[in-house]
Structure 1
């Protein structure tokens, strides 16, 4: 502050000196101007210009008077003419008459007089006789020019009179300016005196403030919790506050004058820092001055190293530049941050572990479920008595319930991870509620409970929402109300609430059931909450229904709440954004007829034996040929040499997993490089399924494998496959053979042919190794017989086996042999139907 005060005082004195210099310079300049103007006035008077102009007219009149005398004295006339001529020449050439010549009017007069003189010179310079003869003409021209001469003289007098007036005014102005300058100088001097007095008072006041500030700074330095170290430009310590003593363990008196780098910076980083000062620095050093708070390591008196925050700023003083370092010990904070990072890492690891656990458990549970439900689906294709059919139904119900529980847990994980997708589309809310009410009516009747629903406002049936999610929520809420209410009522009302510009749809489910306690109401939407014994003693559940319902409602942009009191029933409200939608166009699409005449060549890559058997049985039952591979490596090798119509690829397998196998099939450019590959997986996590598609898979079938889902996939593949596959039996060809052989002979040969095929199939299906050449010969023989009866599909398959056997490709032989049973079963049925 003292430096700034001195700077302001210096600036004030400089200003005063500068003002005085400007004022004196202005007065000197004005004095010079006054002297010059006075000198000009004196010069004009001495020259007597006005007299010269007036004398011009006098000389002209003398000349005219001599010209008009009788008789004319020619010598005197010539003298008077020369005098007048001289006067005009002076006006025309003298510098003093520039102002007259610059005036246009005076210049015109001067030109006319000059022309008169030029015309008169020849006459004046002629002989006396010639002059006497030209006197009349000369008198006339002289009389004519007289007014011009007078006008010339008068105009010049006017010009010089005006000039004199201007000069007098200029002198007056200059004198006024001189007076103003003197007054200004006096004012500036007075202002300077006032400013110097004020500066003197200010200096005294600032000196006092400086002392107070110094005392305050000493107090701040002494009480600061941060260490403050001040150094000079050489890095030598000149101030070391008590906090710095506490942080570093040094006493102030012991460190004054020491180098700050050597004192507090560990040796291993001393050469990497630039803390200011004049010491030699290199460009690769980390600059700290003016960079804000910087984290680094510091050295304690006992040699230990600890983390600190350091901020260094520079300042200029009368003694030179100084550096102020503010230092804070952050050992505790660093330890806390490390603990927080560790806790965060543990939480993230726990979250990942939970996700991995869910994915693993989903796979591990769905895999046996696939075997269970798949076998039950195949079991239903056999002849079951009533009790067996009922037992299978019970098992299917239990399996589906278990699958629903798995899906509930996965839905919670998706929502908590922000990956729960909603598929918005037109939803008929009236039809949705009516279907649910109809579905729950039987259960309500068993409990002797009435179940009704209605609109409280004008009906708005079609809204934009997610049908599946909303249906899940309503089934859960209405199902719970029916499940817990006995000999009572469950009333459902739907109402459009119009608030401002955001209308909402409010669905209320009110029951007269046992109700809930206040504590249960607060936690009913939490995970795994099932209530107390009195509330659920007759029912079971995982406690995930309402928590999932809340997540679904929130995902749809709505809200769900409940009011309940033990013994007085419960009321749930679901509020959703009301976005009216247009009913979708009614279509009369019919499901395309399954192309049973198209047999697909399917590669099933699956490591689980039960799943292989189930999928193979389902595929073969539909007339498709199945090749089996026990892991991804076998599947990739089979796809390299054989062109399949479809590849079903499991994901988790030994040797090579399904994702790696898919990438290999797509990249190796084999026969099935472009074949449709469908993941057959128990992993239902959406982020994992996205990775399957990125690996090159075309679609995903989730275990447990559904017959309907598999059939839909096969129908799509069959629709894409050209219909050039030969039919099972060419009935026209069979009819021609019948006609040529006769009915009896044809029947005998057909029976013999069927026996041959059965024998060949049994021989090929044995576990014993067969000679490939023998397989080729027997296949060739039966293929010829198949041609006689029009069994084209069987004939083509046998020809493939024959060709592969002759080429030594046992893998193709095994693949085709696996499909012979299905082809022969259907072929035999069609041949017998022609009997």
Structure 2
């Protein structure tokens, strides 16, 4: 409690200054930046007031001297000046202040004084308020709280809280109040400050509503993603499943290549679906890497193969080159790696009107001390480049280097932002390392230490190139693209071959007429002046080169080549993008080097897996409402040697299980009549017989959201397969079921 001597201006001015200080406290609580300044100023004024000496009263100095009288008069004048200044602060304060008497005879709380802000806030004049009960300003009478409020004031010195005030016109508005008990000589008075928080309450309400709307939108987004996942992944399951089955049939090399492209495209689409589903993980920082042994060379070749047609439409030369020092197998998240490389190469194609794009992979030292070995993948293009003043926007979400970019090229502006985040999660980075009007170069660095092949990898899928020696074999490379010549030269020299390169058919033919002979010729089809087919005819016209192996590298299909001339003139035609393994096979064929090619073309369903059911005898029930998926699962299981029972919904599943026991149920989660979750619950509760309540149930679901696996397990399912179902994953589940039963 603060004590003041009761003397007109001194008392009122001190009270006013203290109120100003209290006002500053409230302003700080409400977020006003100059509240602290107001407190300091008011407290300074109070200190000045209290320390100021009042002139002695006549009782103390009955006979003051002339000098003492003059000094007292000057002090009084100065004190009155200070009091006036403090009274001005009281009057001009922007917050409502009142001076209250809590000890009226009728136990009411009386307004002794108030400032102009209090009058304006409540719609009264000062004369209308002074002498009135505080209840005139309150929605709820304060007199009923008087004793407890006054007790708290005496104990704590101040009480603050929230209240509802009433204006003269009857309107109610919310306030925050601060009250302080002050003792003026022998009399207790209360200083009150009220702050209208209508705007703040409205802002808080708007914020809450916005938060509720955002949460509702987030729930709606999650529901939408779950539905989208199911609706898209269900047909994708059929596409990829039957593509895999077709891949196991007798096909020629070109058909197998086309089918591989279809499968790769489908898997890429599936990856994009997964990316959408994982976006919430990226936002929340919950994205996790799945580190597994992977082949970088194959991945890059698949990316280039996938985007080749798009580049070819713009007559862009899309090239890839993996340094021989890159390990055959590395540990990384190959799905995320592929996603980032796809984005970089896709952007390069989008922003390159003509020219070439080169994808180059090479080893890179750890980017952090003690870190894992890394790989660097550079994507160089001859596109439009990125202006220096716009490069800082490249990796920002929903931003592109230029607003006109979206209109001309499309895109959301999310690709590079997500790619950088994924690169960081792979203990790496992604940067724009060079850019000009002649093109750009992006560099992706990821941690990818060398590792051994996984146990289930197909051995010798690619022949060990280092075991073959093509020393002294001479190759002629004819291609108008300098980068392609460089890549082909590097590959052939990797196999210990000698090479010579020419950029036109004329210069190559002149060299063949006037130099040592070659053992093999690699010709690009589309060259200015003389194309590859014309060069080949000139070579065949020479008796010395009539049997010389000719390899054609073409960006057009067989049908178009046939219209352009006799393709039988070539020993081998390689369609771009040329894979290292494909080129290697062609070279081996040209030199009649015998290899066990069956080792490199082993199928997932070899003769051993066709008898899988003999070693894993299971009676299988499949519950799946989608006709295509039922057919696919039946084909896959039949190839493993099983004869499964097929039903269309959960009710039929329960009926089938009542008729006879099964070892395992492949249960689709989303089915009509009774879904997989409910059907599994009925089984576990013994509704189809206690002796069949422990049947092994494996969830088949097109959902892939966070928590889907947990929901299946909570429903009583034993295992989980996400669509599209892969043969190797299904085999693992069946093997586990056999072990469980035995």
TM class by shorter chain equals 0.5 to 0.7
Pairing partner for 1:369 from 231, 236, 239? 236
- Is 1:345 aligned to residue 207 of structure 2? no
Q: d(CA) in 1 for partners of 2:102 and 2:209? A: 43
Within a 5 Å distance, the mapping from 1:408-447 to structure 2 comes to 408-424=275-291, 433-436=296-299
How far the C-alpha of 1:350 sits from its partner, in A, is: 2.4
Q: Secondary structure at the match of 2:162?
A: strand
How far the C-alpha of 1:702 sits from its partner, in A, is: 1.6
- Is 1:624 aligned to residue 636 of structure 2? no
Pairing partner for 2:84 from 199, 209, 215? 215
> Given that residues 3 and 183 in structure 2 are in contact (C-alpha distance below 8 angstroms), is that contact kept between their aligned partners in structure 1?
no
Cα separation, partners in 2 of 1:229 and 1:363, compared to 1, 3 Å: same
Within a 5 Å distance, the mapping from 1:311-460 to structure 2 comes to 311-377=178-244, 396=263, 398-424=265-291, 433-436=296-299, 451-452=320-321
User: Which residue of the partner structure matches residue 297 of structure 1?
Assistant: 164
How far the C-alpha of 1:688 sits from its partner, in A, is: 2.9
> Given that residues 521 and 563 in structure 1 are in contact (C-alpha distance below 8 angstroms), is that contact kept between their aligned partners in structure 2?
no
**1:518-542: CA deviation from partner (whole Å, max 9, x where unpaired):** 3875555467889999999999999
Pairing partner for 1:552 from 422, 425, 432? 422
How far the C-alpha of 1:567 sits from its partner, in A, is: 3.7
Q: d(CA) in 1 for partners of 2:372 and 2:245? A: 51
Q: d(CA) in 1 for partners of 2:301 and 2:643? A: 44
User: Which residue of the partner structure matches residue 757 of structure 1?
Assistant: none
Cα separation, partners in 2 of 1:271 and 1:623, compared to 1, 3 Å: farther
Within a 5 Å distance, the mapping from 1:634-649 to structure 2 comes to 634-635=652-653, 642-649=660-667
Q: d(CA) in 2 for partners of 1:249 and 1:689? A: 64
Q: d(CA) in 2 for partners of 1:642 and 1:291? A: 80
> Given that residues 326 and 362 in structure 2 are in contact (C-alpha distance below 8 angstroms), is that contact kept between their aligned partners in structure 1?
no
CA RMSD, 1 decimal = 5.1
Tell me, which stretches of 5 or more residues in structure 2 are unaligned?
Answer: 7-59, 104-108, 460-607
Q: Secondary structure at the match of 2:113?
A: strand
Cα separation, partners in 2 of 1:448 and 1:627, compared to 1, 3 Å: closer
- Is 1:674 aligned to residue 694 of structure 2? yes
Pairing partner for 1:604 from 597, 622, 643? 622
Q: d(CA) in 1 for partners of 2:129 and 2:408? A: 82
User: Which residue of the partner structure matches residue 668 of structure 2?
Assistant: 650
Q: Secondary structure at the match of 2:181?
A: strand
Within a 5 Å distance, the mapping from 1:251-290 to structure 2 comes to 251-260=125-134, 262-267=135-140, 273=145
Q: d(CA) in 2 for partners of 1:698 and 1:315? A: 73
> Given that residues 289 and 312 in structure 1 are in contact (C-alpha distance below 8 angstroms), is that contact kept between their aligned partners in structure 2?
no
- Is 1:707 aligned to residue 727 of structure 2? yes
User: Which residue of the partner structure matches residue 45 of structure 1?
Assistant: none
Pairing partner for 1:562 from 425, 429, 432? 432
Cα separation, partners in 2 of 1:550 and 1:328, compared to 1, 3 Å: same
How far the C-alpha of 1:565 sits from its partner, in A, is: 3.8
Q: d(CA) in 1 for partners of 2:206 and 2:289? A: 39
Mean CA deviation greater in 309-318 or 668-677: 668-677
Q: d(CA) in 2 for partners of 1:274 and 1:715? A: 79
Cα separation, partners in 2 of 1:513 and 1:502, compared to 1, 3 Å: same
Q: d(CA) in 1 for partners of 2:439 and 2:363? A: 19
Q: d(CA) in 2 for partners of 1:245 and 1:713? A: 79
> Given that residues 233 and 276 in structure 1 are in contact (C-alpha distance below 8 angstroms), is that contact kept between their aligned partners in structure 2?
no
Cα separation, partners in 2 of 1:370 and 1:335, compared to 1, 3 Å: same
Mean CA deviation greater in 672-681 or 631-640: 631-640
- Is 1:247 aligned to residue 121 of structure 2? yes
How far the C-alpha of 1:551 sits from its partner, in A, is: 2.6
Q: d(CA) in 1 for partners of 2:427 and 2:435? A: 28
Q: d(CA) in 1 for partners of 2:238 and 2:219? A: 29
Within a 5 Å distance, the mapping from 1:8-87 to structure 2 comes to none
Q: Secondary structure at the match of 2:617?
A: coil
Within a 5 Å distance, the mapping from 1:121-200 to structure 2 comes to none
Cα separation, partners in 2 of 1:353 and 1:597, compared to 1, 3 Å: same
Which structure dedicates a bigger proportion of its chain to helix? 1
> Given that residues 240 and 252 in structure 1 are in contact (C-alpha distance below 8 angstroms), is that contact kept between their aligned partners in structure 2?
yes
Q: Secondary structure at the match of 1:302?
A: coil
- Is 1:309 aligned to residue 176 of structure 2? yes
Mean CA deviation greater in 213-222 or 480-489: 480-489
User: Which residue of the partner structure matches residue 78 of structure 1?
Assistant: none
Which structure dedicates a bigger proportion of its chain to strand? 2
Cα separation, partners in 2 of 1:291 and 1:523, compared to 1, 3 Å: same
> Given that residues 98 and 193 in structure 2 are in contact (C-alpha distance below 8 angstroms), is that contact kept between their aligned partners in structure 1?
yes
User: Which residue of the partner structure matches residue 237 of structure 1?
Assistant: 111
**1:470-527: CA deviation from partner (whole Å, max 9, x where unpaired):** 4543465467668958457555554437778889958361524224343875555467
Give the TM-score of the pair, scaled to structure 2: 0.57
Q: d(CA) in 2 for partners of 1:625 and 1:254? A: 96
Q: d(CA) in 2 for partners of 1:504 and 1:217? A: 73
How far the C-alpha of 1:356 sits from its partner, in A, is: 2.0
Q: d(CA) in 2 for partners of 1:301 and 1:692? A: 64
> Given that residues 640 and 665 in structure 1 are in contact (C-alpha distance below 8 angstroms), is that contact kept between their aligned partners in structure 2?
no
Tell me, which stretches of 5 or more residues in structure 1 are unaligned?
Answer: 7-195, 723-835
Q: d(CA) in 2 for partners of 1:470 and 1:488? A: 19
> Given that residues 153 and 181 in structure 2 are in contact (C-alpha distance below 8 angstroms), is that contact kept between their aligned partners in structure 1?
no
> Given that residues 618 and 664 in structure 2 are in contact (C-alpha distance below 8 angstroms), is that contact kept between their aligned partners in structure 1?
yes
How far the C-alpha of 1:575 sits from its partner, in A, is: 4.9
How far the C-alpha of 1:286 sits from its partner, in A, is: 13
User: Which residue of the partner structure matches residue 564 of structure 2?
Assistant: none
> Given that residues 329 and 453 in structure 2 are in contact (C-alpha distance below 8 angstroms), is that contact kept between their aligned partners in structure 1?
no
**1:356-413: CA deviation from partner (whole Å, max 9, x where unpaired):** 2222111111122223444555566788899998886675455434323312322333
Q: Secondary structure at the match of 1:571?
A: strand
Q: d(CA) in 1 for partners of 2:322 and 2:252? A: 41
Within a 5 Å distance, the mapping from 1:422-501 to structure 2 comes to 422-424=289-291, 433-436=296-299, 451-452=320-321, 466-474=333-341, 476-477=343-344, 486-487=355-356, 490-492=359-361, 494-496=363-365
> Given that residues 312 and 325 in structure 1 are in contact (C-alpha distance below 8 angstroms), is that contact kept between their aligned partners in structure 2?
yes
Mean CA deviation greater in 340-349 or 301-310: 340-349
User: Which residue of the partner structure matches residue 615 of structure 1?
Assistant: 633
**1:31-51: CA deviation from partner (whole Å, max 9, x where unpaired):** xxxxxxxxxxxxxxxxxxxxx
Q: d(CA) in 2 for partners of 1:361 and 1:574? A: 31
Q: d(CA) in 2 for partners of 1:684 and 1:388? A: 32
Q: d(CA) in 1 for partners of 2:149 and 2:737? A: 80
Cα separation, partners in 2 of 1:650 and 1:500, compared to 1, 3 Å: closer
How far the C-alpha of 1:245 sits from its partner, in A, is: 0.5
> Given that residues 296 and 328 in structure 2 are in contact (C-alpha distance below 8 angstroms), is that contact kept between their aligned partners in structure 1?
no
**1:231-271: CA deviation from partner (whole Å, max 9, x where unpaired):** 112311112111110111112111222221x212214x758
Q: d(CA) in 1 for partners of 2:401 and 2:714? A: 44
Give the TM-score of the pair, scaled to structure 1: 0.51
Mean CA deviation greater in 687-696 or 632-641: 632-641
